[in-house]
Amino acid sequence: MPFQESEELVDVKAKEENTLVLFNDDVNTFDFVIESLVEVCNHDRVQAEQCSIIVHYKGKCSVQSGTFAQLEPMCTALHDRGLSASID
């Protein structure tokens, strides 16, 4: 039986689980970062405080996971607040 080649195109951004990563900076206060995570990422206060401490000491923290379509508006909102974030 001859080899049969098939090709399937998959929209990776639509299917894969992505992560929203927040990066440390020397400009924004803990309170501002915590408030931003509560408002933008729907964290409770304790979760936002923990993420801000991790960002401070480790340089970055994964603050949310989901599809690219879910995370893109959150990433934009964090950028609009002057925070450094990316989707991985």
CA atoms within 13 A on the CB side of 79: 10
Domain boundaries, the chain: 16-87
Look at residue 12 in the predicted model and tell me its pLDDT.
Answer: 44
Euclidean distance between CA atoms 79 and 22, whole angstroms? 10
Are 20 and 76 contacting, i.e. CB atoms less than 8 angstroms apart?
no
Instruction: Assign domain 16-87 to its CATH architecture.
Output: 2-Layer Sandwich (3.30)
Question: Could you tell me which of 76, 80, 22 has the C-alpha nearest to residue 54?
Answer: 22
* pTM across the whole model: 0.81
For the chain, give the longest Cα–Cα distance. Answer: 67
Listed as ranges, residues in the chain with pLDDT below 70 are 1-15
